[in-house]
Structure 1
Amino acid sequence: MGIPTEPIGSIPRPPALLTALADHAAGRITAGELAEHQDKAVADTIARLTQLGCPVLVDGEQSKPSFATYPINGLTDLSPDGAIIPFADGHTRQLPHLTSGPFSYQTHADTYLKAAQRHTTLPIKQAVIAPSALSLLYPAGGIPGYPRESFIADLVDAAEADIRGCLDAGAHVVQLDFTEGRLSLKLDPSGGVLDAFIALNNQVLERFTTEEQARIGVHTCPGGDQDSTHSLDIDYAGLLPKLFQLQAGNFYLQLASEPDPDRVLAIIATHLPARARAFIGVTDPINPTPETPDQVRDRVLAAARHIPPAQLGTCDDCGFSPFADDTSTSRDLAFAKITARLEGTALAADVLTG
């Protein structure tokens, strides 16, 4: 039997693209020249993943400013002093907040998908940001003439269009990035914020048919930026039962970096819906040591003791560079870890086949 395996999304940008990003920010090159560098990086990413034998490809998010902010890139009615996300090593990321309405996406993810499809005929997965993350754009004090209810209605419509555009364009699967799920329990241990996030995301997911939901997945992790996390100290047990209430067919779950994976696997086995597949993280992007195929094999076999193999897949814990300026992981290290995931998953499949 085969075990499906997929990347999460981002791959570190090559040096030439990082230089081009800096040059564009400084006004030394045009937007068109930057786009050429981005397209070359996408082509190289797809070529390298293909050479490794990846059954499902990604564009590595080479053209995204970040996994979270692509829909608002270029939006003018923003203030920079929005929600702050603290990481364990002391660094922070800050979102902007919206200053006026109505809210709309400036870029939809199908533009990235269609650009990637020019370089391959193999299946491509497209990551999109969960609407729950973008709900943080609305300021606590409100916006005159644009109540939160109107913002949420606009956000739900835009998020549906983002997903549907990717499905219609032929994405193998559309993955909602939901890293704020675990973080919400750090900000609000009562779980109220998490409940609101789940309800909002389901407002979008429930607009899709069962067949469409089978091509939609949700990724969760404790963050991964500059070799640090924002919520690894939060008990997974508080998130997972509610996570599986989301109306999706695939769940991509960070696990390689968990201190007690067997405990987490038992929780997954208890709550995983019968119609869903759990893709288990078998490589840790922020660990500088590449996994070996044997390590990956053993992680998969451990998961198979809890989860029926027919509902099991593998993935990386997180993207390798979710923010364009994160250079903490090298491009070659990312591909080495992906190689280990592919080879180790195949080894585990051979064992399970007997």
Structure 2
Amino acid sequence: MIVDCATYQNGRRVAAPEDLSDALAQARSCGDPSAFLWLGLFEPEPDEFDLVAREFGLHPLAVEDAVSAHQRPKMEHYKGSTFLVFKTLLEADPHHPLQLGEISVFLGENFVITVRHGSANPLSGVRHRVEGDPGLLEHGPSTVLYAVADSIVDTYTTYAQLMQDSIDQLETEVFSPVRGDYGGPIYSLKRNAIVFARAVMPLVMPTKALVAGEEDRVAKESQPYFRDVADHVLRATDAAREWNELLDHMLDSDRSRVSVQQNDDMRRISAWAAILAVPTAIAGIYGMNFDDMPELHYHYSYYIVLGVMATSCVVLYVLLKRAKWL
């Protein structure tokens, strides 16, 4: 559905006709080269977006990608427009499974179209932000592209900080003396790190191209603004790589620690089994019910046997304790 449609001239929002063709014609004929039409849509139906595509001359392949979503972040050039895809983060807590939404942007002559899928990053705040900065609006439709990209990558930065804090906390717990099962939490964070990397890493080349001025539809005045976007993307990409490596090491360390703990447990069990084996063997000997066992008739036999059992157990305990098996 159409969320908002507005025309901008001379750095401010102006009343626009309801018909898209008339609104676009108004932006192109007003005499202001920076004037543009911004059409915002939320999860449009194919029939609805086909009408928009015909009015603005959008390429069918880009239209299909924008409607179906589930695209890889990218920037593609078509006749009449440039198509960009950004992934949005639907979950802010690193301890919960990370799901991705999507925002597509069509950048053309005197128009920009945004298509949002998912509840993350509503663009009403972005629209209010650019409308409050007339100087920025005078850069044309690339202003909207910058504002949308900046809003999205800011969420990457916020999530990256929360993710780093969670990993640091888990790392402290993994290497603490307290025993616990950390395989599940490590795997959960690693999965989120992989999903995050899928959203961020493909944006490195497109943002570099925007900064370098390789996109003709981006005003030269807007290019310096994209440096901040590119810097945030690079930092988020570096963080994602570091997380994967660190979590791999943590998982290996946790497995090694579990193996060591299991070995320690087996040594303790073996040590106690050895201690209990002596009185068990003695009791087994005297429990065979032979008639000819002279010591059974000795007055102090019972006490002597108990003493031998106790002494053997104490000696074995001391020896195993010194060997750090107990």
Name the TM-score, length of structure 2 as normaliser: 0.24
Name the TM-score, length of structure 1 as normaliser: 0.23
Larger helix proportion of the pair: 2
Structure showing greater radius of gyration is: 2
